[in-house]
Structure 1
Amino acid sequence: MTALPDWMRPPREEGWFAEDLDRLPEAPRHTELIDGALVFVMSPQRWWHGHLVTMLTVALMEQAPGDVRVGREMTIKLDERNRPEPDLLLTTADYDGDRTWFAPDEVRLVIEVVSPESAHRDRTVKLRKYAEAGIAHYWCIEDENGAPVVHVYELDEPTGAYAPAGIFRGTLERPVPFQINLDLDKLTPPRGN
């Protein structure tokens, strides 16, 4: 058994805190903090996932109003022990090239594209944590035989939990957080091409 590298050892007895992520240059590129534990995305990314995220980024950038920006692979500091990294987010924060995270009140929509290794976190853990942080909109995108299926959630203010707002196949039209019209079938190439 090989000893753990020093950077993997928590800096204090209580474990990791959100600000610690900025001091881990040796950590893998996609490192999240969930309940004070480091989560590394170590498995290879599927081409389907990467292509979908790229195409969705472009589609959302084309439709976003001037005060909304699309962020990719940026963490959200939900609290001092949680700093997840969604696949995409929509933010109203001003651009700052040195920025490494967003606050929940700067985020309008979080999008997670489910991978086999992230399925539990995306469907349950992050669903609850993003809602508790007050992020108004959450999309969880699944692979259904090569086609994207978008599970849309909207924050129910009285309960502080997400309420399902629809499951979309083929096309997605939503009036919030801004008018969004997506041809989901164009986000992934047809099988065999």
Structure 2
Amino acid sequence: MSIEPEATEPRWAVPPVGGWTADDLDTLPNLPPHTELIDGSLVFVSPQTFFHSWAVDFFTWQLRSLAPPDLQVVREFTIDIDRYNRPEPDVIVFDSEVVPDPDQTRFPAESVRLAIEVVSPESRSRDRETKPVKYARVKIPHFWRVENHDGRAVVYVFELEPATGAYTSTGIFHDRMKVSVPFPVDLDLTAITPRRRAADPQ
């Protein structure tokens, strides 16, 4: 009678004393895609909703088409906050002078001009409370939070207040979003709500 080998837990299933570090994200084998590090703990991404995927695509492509030459846009890429925090915003606007290496896995926080989080039910507390505090601490100038309100996108826009070092709200946008920083943007937010495509004419 053969004996089946015992299943072994992946190394990341048991955190070390003191928690994981930012460098561990690059060396731990078989981590699920888009794993983040928050306060030394690994945070795994739940299956994306259609709204989340659609909104991330929308902001990525719209901002890429509008960004000036000194800024670039990337989706779902981690940033270094400190040794125990390496979050992954849904969309990042970063300085073009930071030329990414093809094998690069993260950006320094000081190169990030804007971080965007699209809120999912399981990420609501992190996106509303935990992450903005960490982004403000490393002086990322702009933060946008995108939420699904009954199938319609609402964007909450924040800017870093130099005197306090915290984000202050500069606007809440429903159908149309028009801002001047970090560069001029005028977006039709109703386009984030998917619509049935008309049938092709026969």
**Both proteins in one fold, TM over 0.5:** yes
SS of the aligned residue for 1:56 comes to helix
Contact persistence 2:176–2:187 (CA under 8 A): yes
TM-score (normalizing by structure 2) = 0.89
What CA deviation, in whole Å up to 9, does each residue of 1:32-73 have, x standing for no partner? 0001111111x2111111011112111111100112111111
The DSSP-based 3-state class of the residue aligned with 1:81 is: coil
Contact 2:11 2:28 in 1 (8 A): no
Shift of 1:84: 0.4
Q: 1:158 aligns with which of 160, 163, 188?
A: 163
Single out whichever of 51-60 and 105-114 deviates more from structure 2: 51-60
1:48 equivalent in structure 2 = 51
Counterpart of 1:138 in 2: which secondary structure? strand
Distance 2:13 2:117 in 1: 26
Matched, 1:132 2:132: no
Shift of 1:103: 1.1
Largest Rg, 1 or 2: 2
- Which ranges of structure 1 fall in alignment gaps of 5 or more residues? none
Cα-Cα RMSD: 1.4
Among all aligned residue pairs of Structure 1 and Structure 2, give the percentage whose two residues are the same amino acid: 49
User: Shift of the alpha carbon at 1:6?
Assistant: 2.2
Measured in 2, the distance between the counterparts of 1:53 and 1:171 equals: 17
Letter paired with 2:24? D
The residue identity in structure 2 corresponding to 1:157 is P
Equivalent residues in 2 for 1:71-90 (5 A)? 71-90=74-93
Q: Look up the match of 1:188.
A: 193
Separation in structure 2 between the aligned mates of residue 30 and residue 53 of structure 1, nearest angstrom? 14
Structure 2 unaligned segments of length 5 or more: list them. Answer: 1-6, 198-202
- Report which stretch shifted further, 118-127 or 19-28: 19-28
TM-score, normalised by the number of residues in structure 1: 0.93
Q: Which residue of 1 aligns with 2:154?
A: 149
Return 89-98 or 54-63, whichever deviates more: 89-98
Q: How does 1:44-123 map to 2 (within 5 A)?
A: 44-92=47-95, 93-123=98-128
1:20 aligns with 2:28: no
Distance 1:128 1:65 in 2: 27
Q: CA deviation at 1:111?
A: 0.3
Q: 1:188 to 1:25 in 2, by over 3 A?
A: farther
